[in-house]
Structure 1
Amino acid sequence: MIAFLVLGLLAVLALLTLAHWYLWRRLVRDVSTPGGWWRRAGTVLAVLLPLLAVGALVGGRALPLAVERWLAWPGYLWLAVLLYLLLALAVGEAVRPLLLRLPRRHSVEPTTLEEKETDESSVMAPSPERRLFVARTVAIGAAGAAAAVVGNGTYGVLRGPRLKQVTVPLAKLPARAHGYRIAVVSDIHLGPILGRAHTRRIVDTINGAQPDLIAVVGDLVDGSVAELGREAEPLARLRARDGAYFVTGNHEYFSGAGPWVDFIRELGVHPLQNARVELAGFDLAGVNDIAGRDQGDGPDFGKALGDRDRARTSVLLSHQPVTIHDAVRHGVDLQLSGHTHGGQLWPGNYLAELANPTVAGLERYGDTQLYVTRGAGAWGPPVRVGAPSDITIVTLASLQV
Structure 2
Amino acid sequence: MIVVVVLMALVAVTLVAGAHYYIWRRLVRDTTAAGGTARKAGTAVMILLPVLTVAGVGVGRAETPFALKQVLGWPAYMWLATLLYLLLALLVGEAVRPVLRRVLDRRAAARETPQTAPVEEPATVGAPAPSNAPAAPGPDADKGRDADKGADTEKAAGTDKGADTVTPEAPAAPAPAPSRRLFVSRVVGGAAAAAALATVGYGASNVLSGPSVKRVTVPLAKLPRAAHGYRIAVVSDIHLGPLLGRAHAQRVVDTINSTNPDLVAVVGDLVDGTVADLGPAAEPLAGLRAKHGSYFVTGNHEYFGDAAEWVDHVRELGLHPLENARVEIAGFDLAGVNDIAGEEEGEGPDFEKALGGRDPARASVLLAHQPVVIHDAVKHGIDLQLSGHTHGGQMWPVNYIAQAANPTLAGLEQYGDTALYVTRGAGAWGPPVRVGAPADVTVVQLASRQA
How does the TM-score come out when normalised to structure 1?
Answer: 0.95
Q: CA deviation at 1:54?
A: 1.5
Paired letter, 1:296: G
The DSSP-based 3-state class of the residue aligned with 1:309 is coil
Paired letter, 1:58: G
Cα distance in 2 for partners of 1:359, 1:240 equals 28
Paired letter, 1:31: T
Q: CA deviation at 1:55?
A: 1.9
Q: CA deviation at 1:109?
A: 4.2
Task: State the partner residue of 1:309.
Answer: 359
Cα distance in 1 for partners of 2:219, 2:415 equals 14
Q: CA deviation at 1:2?
A: 2.6
Paired letter, 1:310: P
Task: State the partner residue of 1:356.
Answer: 406
Task: State the partner residue of 2:261.
Answer: 211
8 A contact 1:338–1:372 mirrored in 2: yes
Instruction: Find out whether 1:36 has 2:86 as its counterpart.
Output: no
Task: State the partner residue of 2:143.
Answer: none
Task: State the partner residue of 1:297.
Answer: 347
Q: How does 1:1-400 map to 2 (within 5 A)?
A: 1-62=1-62, 63-102=64-103, 103-105=106-108, 106-107=110-111, 109-110=113-114, 129-400=179-450
Cα distance in 2 for partners of 1:272, 1:2 equals 37
Cα distance in 2 for partners of 1:15, 1:99 equals 29
- Deviations along 1:45-80, one digit per CA (max 9) or x if unpaired, are 111111122222221221221111111100000000
Q: CA deviation at 1:280?
A: 1.5
Paired letter, 1:80: A
- Deviations along 1:359-393, one digit per CA (max 9) or x if unpaired, are 10000011101000000000010100000000000
Moved more, 97-106 or 155-164: 97-106
8 A contact 1:338–1:375 mirrored in 2: yes
The DSSP-based 3-state class of the residue aligned with 1:187 is coil
8 A contact 1:344–1:385 mirrored in 2: yes
Q: How many residues align?
A: 387
Task: State the partner residue of 2:153.
Answer: none
Paired letter, 2:390: T
Cα distance in 1 for partners of 2:271, 2:449 equals 38
Q: CA deviation at 1:279?
A: 0.8
Cα distance in 1 for partners of 2:95, 2:46 equals 24
Cα distance in 2 for partners of 1:245, 1:2 equals 40
- Deviations along 1:103-134, one digit per CA (max 9) or x if unpaired, are 1244574358xxxxxxxxxxxxxx97000000
Paired letter, 1:276: R
The DSSP-based 3-state class of the residue aligned with 1:189 is coil
The DSSP-based 3-state class of the residue aligned with 1:183 is strand
Q: CA deviation at 1:34?
A: 1.1
- Deviations along 1:203-233, one digit per CA (max 9) or x if unpaired, are 1111111100000000000000000000001
Q: Identity over aligned residues, as a percent? A: 68
Q: CA deviation at 1:8?
A: 1.5
Paired letter, 1:87: L
- Deviations along 1:328-354, one digit per CA (max 9) or x if unpaired, are 000000000000000000001100011
Cα distance in 1 for partners of 2:237, 2:287 equals 19
Paired letter, 1:255: G
State the Cα RMSD in Å.
Answer: 1.2
The DSSP-based 3-state class of the residue aligned with 1:319 is coil
8 A contact 1:72–1:192 mirrored in 2: yes
8 A contact 1:221–1:255 mirrored in 2: no
Task: State the partner residue of 1:119.
Answer: none
Cα distance in 2 for partners of 1:328, 1:2 equals 38
Q: CA deviation at 1:253?
A: 0.1
The DSSP-based 3-state class of the residue aligned with 2:292 is coil
Unaligned 5+ runs, structure 2: 117-176
The DSSP-based 3-state class of the residue aligned with 1:104 is helix
Q: CA deviation at 1:6?
A: 2.0
- Deviations along 1:176-212, one digit per CA (max 9) or x if unpaired, are 0000000000000000110001111111111111100
The DSSP-based 3-state class of the residue aligned with 2:179 is helix
- Deviations along 1:11-30, one digit per CA (max 9) or x if unpaired, are 11111000000000000000
Cα distance in 2 for partners of 1:396, 1:290 equals 27
8 A contact 1:219–1:252 mirrored in 2: yes
Cα distance in 2 for partners of 1:390, 1:60 equals 26
Paired letter, 2:332: F
Cα distance in 2 for partners of 1:58, 1:323 equals 31
The DSSP-based 3-state class of the residue aligned with 2:33 is coil
Cα distance in 1 for partners of 2:271, 2:56 equals 16
Cα distance in 1 for partners of 2:336, 2:395 equals 29
Paired letter, 1:323: V
Task: Compare the two structures and name the one with the higher helix fraction.
Answer: 1
Paired letter, 2:107: R
If you compute each CA radius of gyration, which structure gives the higher value, 1 or 2? 2
- Deviations along 1:244-266, one digit per CA (max 9) or x if unpaired, are 00000000000210100000001
The DSSP-based 3-state class of the residue aligned with 1:298 is coil
The DSSP-based 3-state class of the residue aligned with 1:163 is strand
